[in-house]
């Protein structure tokens, strides 16, 4: 065996193995670089809309849609449960949805929820509409047409038997303004139905006849797209659907595995929501009026004036975005003024009763209900409590205070003025008198004999300036 031949062969084998290992390492590195990192799934942003639609709701939804566009969200879901709300806020929300580059879905949930009145408009405007079983929508007639309780609305009059103008034709008794409001609301909802390919006939009936539908009926009538018992079912059901967003762009939804993030209202939205509540705005206005009035009545107290000024400014900020009736506000101010006048002129009662009536009527009509949805006004318990409190304050507290002010002073230095005493001893123009069981130093413009009855004209420090009850008044220099 030749040892010289084996050494080179071993070296060659070793070199070959090293080369193979290096090649394998390079291949693994290349394959690792070539594999793409899966992108993070776009989130689904959830906005909870519960209660009356107002200014805070529209601001909350607008902020959520802006955030969705910045984050390139896959979808924005409005989980809706509302009895209705302001027409201006509803239109703002719909404009935000129609102008959104991110698809917007409305999900009426949970079971027992509703999308009544203004909520129906928002459902029709959405790219995808879904409802949970046990929910309903509809009744989109403007509430300003309802009138006082017991008086039939135009929609009711239109449905009276024996009419020969059809279900949707206005009657002769309907005013021109009522017809304009109904026709405008019906055309608005019908245009949304045509835009999204939904049932336009029901849209017409929901406005003109306040028709409603359950979730199952809405699905069968193509008012909504689907039923979903939970958010998970909803996300899975719409996965892969194609929708057209603002600008005509088409988006394919990828929602089955997408993370759902709830958008929480910020502190500004919460504050706006609180102060724009009609009951809160009403109480802030009253607190402002009473606080400032108390400060004027008692200058220098400061605290009531500060609280009243802040409350009044907050009330004015709320009134700037609420449908305020200035006739109602004027009646409230007139009522307060009449109740104050009654306190200054007790016994008339006509001023107080008239002021209380004006206060209550003004409170009822403080907010104009000429909007889509619920009657946006101050609740009856709040009005009753405010009227009772105001009446009690002005008739009793302020009245007692004014009557007490007219009574003679019975305490303090002022109580000494006019008091009667008797001279104990006297020298020249000064001496001592017996007054209220005490001995006081006194002076007068004349000499007085002991035992003379005197009356205190004024006090000069601890000296009483007196005059005899049966004598002429002291000269001006002694007053």
**167: its two tokens:** 């279900």
> Which residue carries 């004036």 as its tokens?
305
pLDDT in tens, the chain (479 residues): 444 454 555 555 555 555 555 555 545 444 444 444 345 668 999 999 998 898 899 999 999 999 999 999 999 999 999 998 888 899 999 999 999 999 999 999 999 999 999 999 999 999 999 999 999 999 888 765 333 333 344 444 444 444 444 444 444 445 777 788 889 999 999 999 999 999 999 999 999 999 999 999 999 999 999 999 999 999 999 999 999 998 888 999 999 889 999 999 888 888 988 998 889 999 999 999 888 888 887 787 788 889 999 999 999 988 888 888 888 999 999 998 888 777 777 666 778 888 889 999 999 988 875 555 555 678 889 999 999 888 877 766 655 555 555 555 555 566 677 888 899 999 888 999 988 788 888 999 888 888 889 988 888 878 888 988 864 444 444 43
* pLDDT at residue number 42: 84
User: Which three-class secondary structure state does DSSP give residue 108?
Assistant: strand
Q: Which of 209, 220, 55, 61 is nearest to 126 (CA)?
A: 61
User: Which three-class secondary structure state does DSSP give residue 38?
Assistant: coil
* pLDDT at residue number 38: 43
Rounded to 10 deg, the angle between the 380-392 and 278-297 helix axes is: 10
**361: its two tokens:** 């009527």
> Which residue carries 């776009």 as its tokens?
42
**Rounded to whole angstroms, how far apart are CA atoms 113 and 70?**
31
Tally of CB atoms within 10 A around 463? 13
DSSP label of 372: S
**Chain segment 357-413, per-residue pLDDT in tens:** 999 999 998 887 555 555 567 888 999 999 988 887 776 665 555 555 555 555 556
* pLDDT at residue number 437: 80
Residue 246 · residue 99 · CB < 8 Å: yes
Which backbone phi and psi does 273 adopt, to 5 degrees? -65, -35
Rounded to 10 deg, the angle between the 278-297 and 326-344 helix axes is: 30
Give the total residue count for the chain: 479
**Rounded to whole angstroms, how far apart are CA atoms 185 and 188?**
5
Residue 362 · residue 329 · CB < 8 Å: yes
Residue 321 · residue 55 · CB < 8 Å: yes
Residue 372, CA atoms < 13 Å, CB-side half-sphere: 31
Query: CA–CA distance from 249 to each of 5, 125, 460 (Å)?
Result: 76, 17, 93
Q: Which of 178, 206, 171 is nearest to 190 (CA)?
A: 206
**289: its two tokens:** 């009026």
**398: its two tokens:** 């302020």
Residue 291 · residue 310 · CB < 8 Å: no
Residue 358 · residue 335 · CB < 8 Å: yes
**475: its two tokens:** 């000269």
User: Which three-class secondary structure state does DSSP give residue 292?
Assistant: helix
**Chain segment 23-46, per-residue pLDDT in tens:** 555 454 444 444 443 456 689 999
Query: Which domains, and CATH codes, for the chain?
Result: 44-139+211-267 (3.90.226.10), 274-406 (no CATH), 413-478 (2.40.50.140)
**295: its two tokens:** 């400060």
**Rounded to whole angstroms, how far apart are CA atoms 297 and 305?**
10
* pLDDT at residue number 147: 37
- Contacts of residues 175-180 at CB distance under 8 Å and 24 or more positions apart, as own/partner, are 178/145, 178/154, 179/154
**Rounded to whole angstroms, how far apart are CA atoms 466 and 430?**
10
């Amino acid at each position: 065996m030749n040892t010289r031949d084996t050494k080179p062969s071993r070296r060659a084998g070793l070199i070959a193995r090293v080369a193979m290992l290096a090649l394998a390492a390079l291949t693994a590195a290349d394959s690792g670089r070539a594999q793409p990192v899966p992108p993070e799934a776009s989130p689904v942003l959830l906005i909870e809309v519960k209660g009356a639609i107002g200014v805070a709701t529209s601001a909350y939804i607008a902020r959520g849609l802006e955030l969705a566009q910045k984050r390139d969200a896959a979808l924005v879901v409005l989980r809706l449960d509302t009895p209705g709300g302001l027409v201006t806020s509803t239109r703002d929300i719909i404009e935000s949805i129609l102008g959104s580059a991110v698809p917007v879905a409305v999900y009426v949930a949970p079971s027992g929820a509703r999308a009544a009145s203004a909520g129906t408009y928002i459902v029709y405007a959405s790219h995808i509409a879904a409802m949970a079983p046990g929910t309903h929508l509809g009744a989109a007639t403007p509430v300003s047409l309802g009138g006082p309780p017991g008086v039939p609305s135009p929609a009711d009059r239109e449905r009276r038997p024996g009419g020969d103008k059809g279900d949707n034709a206005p009657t002769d008794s309907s005013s021109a303004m009522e017809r304009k409001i109904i026709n405008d609301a019906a055309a608005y909802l019908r245009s949304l139905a045509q835009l999204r390919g939904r049932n336009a006939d029901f849209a017409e009936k929901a406005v003109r006849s306040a028709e409603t539908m359950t979730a199952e009926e809405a699905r069968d009538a193509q008012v909504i797209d689907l039923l979903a018992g939970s958010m998970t079912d909803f996300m899975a059901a719409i996965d892969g659907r194609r929708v057209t967003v603002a600008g005509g762009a088409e988006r394919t939804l990828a929602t089955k595995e997408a993370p759902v993030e709830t958008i929480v209202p910020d502190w500004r939205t919460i504050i706006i929501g609180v102060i724009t509540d009609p009951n809160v705005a009403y109480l802030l206005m009253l607190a402002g009026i009473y606080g400032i009035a108390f400060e004027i009545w008692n200058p220098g107290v400061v605290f009531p004036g500060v609280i009243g000024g802040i409350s009044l400014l907050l009330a004015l900020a709320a009134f700037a975005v609420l449908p305020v009736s200035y006739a109602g506000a004027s009646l409230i101010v007139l009522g307060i003024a009449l109740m104050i006048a009654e306190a200054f002129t007790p016994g008339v009662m006509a001023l107080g009763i008239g002021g209380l009536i004006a206060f209550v009527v003004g409170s009822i009509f403080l907010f104009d209900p000429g909007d889509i949805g619920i009657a946006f006004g101050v609740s009856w318990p709040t009005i009753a409590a405010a009227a009772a409190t105001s009446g009690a304050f002005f008739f009793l507290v302020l009245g007692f205070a004014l009557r007490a002010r007219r009574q003679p002073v019975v305490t303090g230095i002022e109580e000494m003025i006019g008091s009667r005493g008797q001279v104990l001893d006297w020298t020249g123009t000064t001496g001592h008198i017996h007054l209220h069981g005490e001995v006081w130093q006194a002076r007068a413009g004349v000499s007085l004999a002991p035992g003379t009855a005197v009356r205190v004209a004024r006090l000069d420090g601890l000296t009483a300036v007196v005059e005899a009850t049966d004598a002429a008044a002291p000269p001006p220099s002694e007053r």
